[in-house]
Chains A and B, each alone.
Chain A
């Protein structure tokens, strides 16, 4: 019996030692970590240009460690380009830390789904990586390292994640959201546009893509802000009220809900917004007694703006809010039937926006 136990424990130890392989036989100093990927259309037809931003590990912790290198390669597919890049570096390329994917705007003329295929299929690429669109060559974005950036590529990361700056102009799209919206019938994907202004990044525009009909729509920064505050129920946004009164409302509550009514003669979408905030800045003198009046002005103003935004989306034939998906969720029938019906309804649907604004105060002064 005792010998038996001893034998078993030795066997277990031998078996356990098989698991001690470390990072798949390659140590951390034999790896090149990819921080960001930029995809451009290649110079040759149907080719893609892949830019990989690789970190150069540094043993010393100096004040600003910003060592990185960008490697560019062109091939028929992303996978092939990465294979060629692998032959150009000395270490194993590791995509486990990749959090930023920058796509060139020109790529949208091709099938975005086939471009994204490689990212979705790879097991080591995080589905929570941030995706953004660049108007210029993506290498410019990758090579920029703004002042104050301690770790390469950290600036973009903090811009998009909520751990860093919070801005209602920044739209955050993660890889899985992009893929879901792209494949899902009845909703259209959005992508933030990243630009370089004065040696810094700027993200305040949005592009809406309709995969099938190839409609695209660019939103202005103002529209992007409005879009973010209702699409993501973004709480920290501000609303500028112009007209006879001029003041800015800083939001701290934003709730949206909508109803799709299609059984009436004229189908409509009843969009309700409940918001709460206080006045952050004003050019005219404000009185706390007339808060109800300001609330009314805010509601009216907001209603009009949201209505205009929806109509603009409708005119362009894009549906980022997923009204079509809601139609699918509430009606019977096969997927194709429903989509056909919805595509006939959407161009003529009416939007009835209803905003209930509550202003809690005029800040700490009157």
Chain B
């Protein structure tokens, strides 16, 4: 089952192209974004190592299970509640970005509310299935979408009109000033390992998730995806012009052309990738969030059935649909910034706690 661990990492890597990460990185292009990206990915990689090596000590158990059996309830419940909220946040941001994009590019005549209801119900239905089925689903989605992403990236890099001088202009700006937003945003792309909170239950105890060369490979892949997410838009739209695009990656792929291909406007290929990755990314993170909520919330019985997860799903549903009609994209972007900044201390704390529990178990 180890390959599913890489799918979880990959899906989080790719969602960074469809959420607000490129937009945040681009807004810091004049003040040392490259340095922040480097710090962010190194931090993400370090946390990945600590977290996976701690979870390996508890084969077949989920994070909620481990934490509540090793810590007193008054610490474990608020902690897990916070973690679940953060997982909800990931899916929330992906879904909201996707609703905006679908309104703008896929079906402009569909009201925001209808789109929100449609996509949220889809994601909730997906998040409610059993964990192993979700993993199979994830595998199929990635299988169909990886070639599309590769095609878009290859077309972007071989485009003869890509302005490499604009991209090179990023380098002299990389002075040693860092911004928390861009560190958080680039760290976020490598945080796919947190999904092990639920999916660790399939880990048999044999072998390990990572070794040093896999870590280097994942680190390089992560770094190149994060760099690509800023380099290609800057090369296509120019370092001075890119900031005015609200959806940098969509406008960028619209500037790519495949003259001899099946479809000339590369935008549509990217949009298809966008739809699939957004929906599966949101589904996976909400599945984990629901799973943790189920573990910590009291069981509410209705006709002898536990309806806690339905209630939580309903809260998710209301959360997305109401904000999708009340907040505009700039307010969403502000929420995303706050979320990415808060991810840094939250993930360090969370990983440190797990590491401490694992150490104590060994002792």
Contacts and interface: CB of A to CB of B under 8 A. Distances in A.
Do A and B come together as binding partners? yes
Interface of B: 30, 104-105, 107-110, 114, 118, 121-122, 125, 160-161, 163, 165-166, 168-169, 171-172, 175, 236-241, 251, 254-257, 259-260, 264-265, 267
Closest 7 CB pairs of A and B: A183-B241, A329-B168, A176-B255, A180-B238, A184-B238, A24-B109, A127-B255
A174 B118 contact: no
12 contacts: A8-B125, A127-B255, A128-B256, A176-B236, A183-B240, A184-B166, A184-B238, A185-B240, A329-B169, A329-B172, A332-B172, A333-B172
A326 B241 contact: no
Q: Chain B: interface secondary structure?
A: loop
A179 B241 contact: yes
A329 B75 CA distance: 52
B172 A331 contact: yes
B254 A126 contact: yes
Contacts of B165: 187, 322, 325-326, 328-329
Interface of A: 8, 11-12, 15, 18-19, 21, 24-25, 123, 126-128, 161-163, 174, 176-177, 179-185, 187, 232-233, 322, 325-326, 328-335
Q: Output the residue of B105, B171, B255, B256 with the most chain A CB within 10 A.
A: B255
A128 B265 contact: yes
Contacts of B108: 24, 123
A328 B236 CA distance: 17
A123 B259 contact: no
A300 B9 CA distance: 57
* Residue from A176, A185, A322, A335 with most neighbouring chain B CB atoms (10 Å): A176
B259 A184 contact: no
A115 to B, nearest CB: 16
Given A11-B121, A183-B238, 16 more contacts: A15-B121, A24-B109, A24-B110, A123-B108, A126-B265, A127-B255, A128-B256, A163-B259, A180-B166, A181-B238, A182-B241, A183-B240, A183-B241, A232-B160, A325-B166, A326-B165
Contact of B161 (A19, A163, A177, A329): A177
Contacts, number: 96
Contacts of A127: 251, 254-255
Given A183-B240, A332-B172, A19 B255 contact: no
A184 B241 contact: yes
Given A128-B254, A180-B163, A123 B105 contact: yes
Chain A residues touching B, majority SS: loop
B255 A18 contact: no
A126 B255 CA distance: 7
Contacts of B109: 21, 24-25
Nearest to B164: A329
A311 to B, nearest CB: 22
A266 B314 CA distance: 71
B144 to A, nearest CB: 18
Nearest to A332: B172
B172 to A, nearest CB: 5
B255 A12 contact: no
A128 B240 contact: no
Contact of B125 (A12, A176, A333): A12
